[in-house]
Structure 1
Amino acid sequence: MIERRATARVRRALARQAAVVLVGPRQVGKTTLALELAEETGALYLDLESSADRNKLTDPALFLKDHEDRLVIMDEIHRVPELFRELRGLIDRGRRKGLRTGRFLLLGSAAMDLLRQSSESLAGRIEYVEMGPLDILEAADTAGTADRLWVRGGFPDSFLAPSDATSLAFRQNFIRTYLERDIPQFGRRVPAETLQRFWTMLAHGQGTLLNASKLAAGLGVSAPTVTDYIDLLADLLLLRRLPPFHANVKKRLVKSPKTYIRDSGLTHALLGLEDLNELSGHPVVGASWEGFAIENLIAAAPPGTKPAFYRTSAGAEIDLVLDLPGGRGRWAIEIRRGLDPVPGKGFHNAREDLRPAQSFIVHSGADRYPLAEDVDAIGLRELAVMLDALRRE
């Protein structure tokens, strides 16, 4: 069993709030985490995909009144969104009895409609914890693990599959299920074939600036329709829009976000890349590694960190800028696939603009060494450990 860092975050959130929403894509391990907590605490677990469990909540106030002294876990909460209104009354009545924390753990697949409903109904009574695929700090630190995580991605069944072929089959089925079943469940009537073409176009353009008009022309749809597709994949935590950094500098800055498919394994599945050998010879290899590093570093960073990229029309550029919370300063991070990273002139020019507290060139090895004044080459895992240490302070 791989220990998930989200487990500790959920426990801390339950100790602070009456209700906690654990959000993340399907198959990422939310239910496994919830069942572990249920076994530890004696919680009541309800799977709202089951008609039998949904029927128990025909009168939720009556049913849940008998379980107010224990944690109640509700999986697939988007199936019964009207529950949020009922939970507000239950939480308020419980507070008057001294039951202020650890009442409900709600699991959802991160549709924005779900989050919007919960925030409107349970304002001041709820906390959110995001759970993504496995990251480099959760996977064992053994030879070849980082490459396996990169190629297969972090969905547990994909990462732990007995072979690359089995892993690829899981991810291709995952994509098909999302397109044909899960997305329609959220009320989005998008033709599966069109959305798969669009998703594949994003995989080919991993890490590029968003150009909705160009994507629209390739699909034969309007630019606003492309924006809707982008919103949908981002809402489901399958796509990241990395915003441009807006600095108070007298430079002409890029204004479009970059787009990354958040799980590298899904990128490779959309492109039909089965193993490291196939990936290494594909044009997407550098952008794929960049996206993989960015997701791992953001996952490790302290809550409240603001990620962005920096680029000017003159060519100054930094792949990832992290504005850390709590006065910890700004980190500038350039990402290079390979063991001999060399920062370009654009990186140094960008550093002069931003004056970061620390600067790093992330490479695919494990060694750390200075490259220039105030610039270190560093392995991805070591930098993730440094960011995680800030989270724990």
Structure 2
Amino acid sequence: MDFIERHAEDTLKRFASSFPAVLVTGARQTGKTTILKKIADENSVSSTTFDDIAEEQSALSDPKTFLELHESPHMFDEVQYVPDLFRYLKIEIDKNRHNGMYYLTGSQQFKLTEKATESLSGRIGIVQLYPLSAREIRRDSFSESFIPSKEYILGRNRAFSDYTFSVKKLWEKIYRGGYPEVIKGSLSPKDFYASYLKTYIERDIKSLSQVADEMQFLQFITVVASRTSQLVNYGDLGRECGISEVTAKKWLSLLVTSGIVYLLRPYSSNVEKRVVKTPKLYFMDTGLAAYLTRWTNPDVMQNGAMAGAFFETYVVSEVIKSFANRGEDAPIYFYRDKDKIEIDLLIEENNTLYPVEIKKTASPNSDDAKNFFITDRLKNVQIGQAVIVCGTDKVISVKKGEKTALAIPAEFV
């Protein structure tokens, strides 16, 4: 498969024309270097990678001289290895500030983002790059954030008027995941993810924290993958792996920091105190989660005990990517109270909340909309169109009591 256009490319070009520096961060092997190198090459910008130990040592030992020898505009790859460089980048930018001076990539986004915002506040545009979205894989040029208003749904419905929906192909996508090397067919999913985990643990985890037992950490990642789309329970995670609750919390933080896991916050503004305050965890790539939990093919996964969890994880990750590719933090939450009444997603825009239920069914009915009544408890906010994202092949109106929802295909996300 040839080069896959990334929707974040337009965002990065906009940032390069608006800020002295741009940073692409995210998990390993998501295509950070590829996308930024493409933009840098188009602007005749030379590049340096800190995968080169000599370059890394040069930057660490004398960053001031290093930057003098690598005049802007310049691209620095894998900048997480030299985080103190940000302070000297600020000095160089402030000497002769103009846009498009530095192009940076790096893993461990929270650590990098903290350094970048501390040193380069107002001087840097940051894009979080995740594995390929379903839109990108099918070469869909549509790149708007997922806000399920009626206008959005009508627009997507027109765009998909000639599209052939396939539940089988949808589950193949969920099983395979979105890492570029897997999508391009360079490696089988099994071979890629085995190598990926080994590199991830040996390089990212060791640099972020002292993990004494690598096999125990791998077991921990596997347990977390088996809990995707569930509320976080540190005690349960610890017991499963034979580690303390404190260690489980620390290790889950590592997975979040390195872009493997996303923690979805509960919605708590202007609601009763009985709502839960615990986040839900989602793997950001269903292919990696499938490998860890040992699903051998998409058909078995589709009919297995984790089918609902994988479908929900897939949809939530696609929603997050739709915002991230535009350089935005996803304004998303979930609702769950002590009575276990839950809405999978609440998406916020302009003081309006859009409630979203996620169901793997291809035949949605009124029971799938039964929890939308709970939005009446949300105060001082407008409630937008309620939707059910599911395996349907067309838009369907679903009514439960006084609430009417629209069931939409997962491909609309």
* TM-score normalised per structure 1: 0.88
Among 301, 311, 320, which residue is 2:345 paired with? Answer: 320
- Give the match's secondary structure for 1:36: helix
- Give the match's secondary structure for 1:7: helix
Q: Which residue of 1 aligns with 2:407?
A: 377
- On the 8 A contact 1:48/1:54 being kept in 2, the answer is yes
- Give the match's secondary structure for 2:248: helix
In structure 2, the CA distance between the partners of 1:304 and 1:259, relative to structure 1 (3 Å rule), is: closer
2:383 equivalent to 1:360: no
Letter of the structure 2 residue corresponding to residue 348 of structure 1: F
* TM-fit CA distance, 1:254: 1.5
Letter of the structure 2 residue corresponding to residue 330 of structure 1: L
Among 339, 343, 354, which residue is 2:362 paired with? Answer: 339
- Give the match's secondary structure for 2:361: coil
2:142 equivalent to 1:119: no
1:82-161 aligned within 5 A: 82-95=84-97, 100-140=98-138, 145-161=169-185
Between 1 and 2, higher relative CO (CA 8 Å, sep ≥ 6) is seen in: 2
Q: Which residue of 1 aligns with 2:147?
A: none
Tell me which moved more, 154-163 or 8-17: 154-163
Q: Which residue of 1 aligns with 2:18?
A: 16
1:170-197 Cα shifts (integer Å, max 9, x gaps):
1122112212333113344342111111
In structure 2, the CA distance between the partners of 1:59 and 1:211, relative to structure 1 (3 Å rule), is: closer
- Give the match's secondary structure for 2:371: helix
Aligned-pair RMSD on alpha carbons? 2.2
* TM-fit CA distance, 1:137: 1.3
* TM-fit CA distance, 1:17: 0.8
- On the 8 A contact 1:316/1:349 being kept in 2, the answer is no
Tell me which moved more, 51-60 or 126-135: 51-60
2:293 equivalent to 1:256: no
* TM-fit CA distance, 1:167: 1.5
In structure 2, the CA distance between the partners of 1:170 and 1:332, relative to structure 1 (3 Å rule), is: same
Q: Which residue of 2 aligns with 1:279?
A: 301
Matches of 2:82 and 2:66, distance apart in 1? 15
Letter of the structure 2 residue corresponding to residue 221 of structure 1: I
Matches of 1:333 and 1:94, distance apart in 2? 48
In structure 2, the CA distance between the partners of 1:176 and 1:117, relative to structure 1 (3 Å rule), is: same
In structure 2, the CA distance between the partners of 1:113 and 1:306, relative to structure 1 (3 Å rule), is: same
- What residue ranges of structure 2 are gaps of 5+ in the alignment? 141-163
* TM-score normalised per structure 2: 0.84
1:284-314 Cα shifts (integer Å, max 9, x gaps):
1110110110110122246254211101122
Count of residue pairs brought into register by the alignment = 374
* TM-fit CA distance, 1:345: 6.4
1:215-230 aligned within 5 A: 215-230=237-252
* TM-fit CA distance, 1:59: 4.8
Runs of 4+ in 1 over 6 A off after TM superposition: none
Q: Which residue of 2 aligns with 1:266?
A: 288
- On the 8 A contact 2:265/2:280 being kept in 1, the answer is yes
User: Identical aligned pairs, as a percentage?
Assistant: 29
* TM-fit CA distance, 1:61: 4.0
- On the 8 A contact 2:356/2:388 being kept in 1, the answer is yes
- On the 8 A contact 2:109/2:128 being kept in 1, the answer is no
Among 225, 231, 234, which residue is 1:209 paired with? Answer: 231
- Give the match's secondary structure for 2:134: coil
In structure 2, the CA distance between the partners of 1:26 and 1:87, relative to structure 1 (3 Å rule), is: same
Matches of 1:170 and 1:274, distance apart in 2? 14
* TM-fit CA distance, 1:127: 2.0
Tell me which moved more, 218-227 or 24-33: 218-227
- On the 8 A contact 2:19/2:100 being kept in 1, the answer is yes
In structure 2, the CA distance between the partners of 1:349 and 1:308, relative to structure 1 (3 Å rule), is: same
- On the 8 A contact 2:49/2:78 being kept in 1, the answer is yes
Q: Which residue of 1 aligns with 2:266?
A: 244
1:175-224 Cα shifts (integer Å, max 9, x gaps):
12212333113344342111111111112222111111122222222211
Tell me which moved more, 10-19 or 249-258: 249-258
* TM-fit CA distance, 1:147: 2.9
1:139-184 Cα shifts (integer Å, max 9, x gaps):
1167565333211111011223278xx2122112211221233311
